[in-house]
Structure 1
């Protein structure tokens, strides 16, 4: 037979109302009594009825996290950072994977609202106006990660992707490379990968170099698209010194694509990745990359969300974390 709140009250020698106040973290219970109740809960293995509790408090202590690609090595590290913080504050996680599909994103947001989550950490391939409208309509407290709301309505945690794309390209230019290709996602969305392309374009223009459309491959972010990009570049017959990739997965695909044509990286072509996924360290050649602090992005986002849920003011609504270039072996 399951332990009830009455059993906890009897074990602790207090009223049911006192146990309820402790469970709901209401600060009218003195520390000695609170300890008695918590000890009784632990001894009896009592687990409160979340639904009943949420009806009283209007809180479920549950956070939804929406990611665009669960197979990517980047997003799980963000989730880990968020979950570690949520555990500290006794929040549970519901995880959704949208597969870069805006309809799935919208459906997940509706489901999370039905599940009465307290808030959402949202990662997406692009932040379309219809998504912003839906978040507003559903009235879900939301913090964005990696994507920024250009209207400034939603708080976010990002790096400066334009600057990171610029500095990554500048890093290659400073090594003397001039024929620099770019592999990334379609540049019509309001997303991090578009911003990285903008940074790439800015660096080339600053160096008085033309943007060669035949050295651009914009599709999606799977490794196989990196292989396909190389086929496109080789077919064009254009000389390539180096390639800037919007993700590490793309960079590894690009390296394998060159390998298929017996073109050596970095001896003949240099390749720069983005994100600093752990596989990049054991891939051959080890990947030179622009690193995002993915774990920190998740933990900062969760702390921001919990502050909002507790009606606390944010020191910074749009938190920009630092990026770094990690020099390994894929750039000569």
Structure 2
């Protein structure tokens, strides 16, 4: 049995094995693998045939040690199941592939302590750069980032101190636009539903836009209409009765899954959408078109936010000149069936 199990173990094929089988130097194999044109066509063909036969896969870590560069980017994502973040990640991954960077995706579970732990795990893997999508940059995380000297870009996340490069839309203006539209539709009480207001994107940007629209319309700001909860369908569903109890006739929601929960809560209670209650959400993920009635939404260029963040990071990693590290992309408003 001992001999049999040893034979069953997968043998690691090295660059040395390929060079020996093809009867060329390891430098030649390296040139073929890295796409260096300085190889005779016949030699390249012979080496590629051996690579194929032996199923040789270059060791990215070993190549990284040789070049002092692992060509790897760490991406910290708060919730891998949320369509908002996976839409951003798609743009990140496509640009990373274009520039031949590998991605290590790490889920932080929206937990500050875990974010620091995940960051240190990625730094230990010698990543060349980081994209951070968490909602808040804690002091501990900021200290670790500045100490590591690794280039970092935020995607769909705001740094109130403006130290870290970021790609977003103007959340304050977007919410102000939406609130103004709902006011113009005749709504006197509009609920504001978001994640924690301790998260700058909510407390310092979205809420400010909501307040500015109320001020412009000479309407009072009522704290009882402001709801903080987690970004989930069940949280939205559970919140409906509290929203209804305020007498609100409309809601602005900062997350699509949360908005679907609020909408379903209203429909389950027999409320007519949008005649008796209007709902606008913030991210325009595919969820907005899968629900009935379909959700009106702020339209963020989610794929572009991810793609531009990754391109900004490649510039930082290659020490290219950067015109601006805080990038604001345009947004739009999409009217569907959940608004009048």
Fold conserved (TM > 0.5)?
Answer: yes
| 2: CA distance, partners of 1:216 / 1:103 | 27
Give the match for residue 51 of structure 1. Answer: 61
Give the match for residue 286 of structure 2. Answer: 278
What's the CA shift for 1:19? 4.5
| 2: CA distance, partners of 1:319 / 1:294 | 14
Structure 1 residue 110 corresponds to structure 2 residue 120: yes
Structure 1 residue 141 corresponds to structure 2 residue 151: yes
Residues 25-84 of structure 1: per-residue CA shift (max 9 Å, x gap): 8xxx6x342867765554323322222222221111211111111121111111111111
**Change in 2 beyond 3 A, CA 1:154/1:24:** farther
Partner SS for 1:191 = helix
Give the match for residue 293 of structure 1. Answer: 301
Give the match for residue 123 of structure 1. Answer: 133
**Change in 2 beyond 3 A, CA 1:122/1:39:** farther
**Change in 2 beyond 3 A, CA 1:160/1:36:** farther
How many residue pairs get aligned? The number is 326
| 1: CA distance, partners of 2:130 / 2:312 | 11
| 2: CA distance, partners of 1:73 / 1:19 | 42
Give the match for residue 62 of structure 1. Answer: 72
Give the match for residue 251 of structure 1. Answer: 259
What's the CA shift for 1:273? 0.7
| 2: CA distance, partners of 1:71 / 1:155 | 25
What's the CA shift for 1:11? 7.8
Q: Which moved more, 1:139-148 or 1:185-194?
A: 185-194
Q: Which moved more, 1:97-106 or 1:16-25?
A: 16-25
**Change in 2 beyond 3 A, CA 1:58/1:24:** farther
Residues 261-314 of structure 1: per-residue CA shift (max 9 Å, x gap): 211111101111110010210201000000111111111111111222222122
User: 1:1-332 to 2 correspondence within 5 Å?
Assistant: 3-6=13-16, 15-17=25-27, 19-20=29-30, 31-33=37-39, 39=45, 42-43=48-49, 44-45=51-52, 46-191=56-201, 194-235=204-245, 238-332=246-340
CA RMSD of aligned residues (A): 2.3
| 1: CA distance, partners of 2:307 / 2:219 | 40
| 1: CA distance, partners of 2:92 / 2:205 | 24
- Conserved 8 A contact 1:163-1:199: yes
Structure 2 residues not aligned, in runs of 5+: 1-10
- Conserved 8 A contact 2:156-2:167: yes
Give the match for residue 4 of structure 2. Answer: none
**Change in 2 beyond 3 A, CA 1:311/1:15:** farther
Give the match for residue 3 of structure 2. Answer: none
TM-score w.r.t. structure 1 length?
A: 0.90
- Conserved 8 A contact 2:32-2:39: no
Partner SS for 2:39 = helix
- Conserved 8 A contact 1:169-1:200: yes
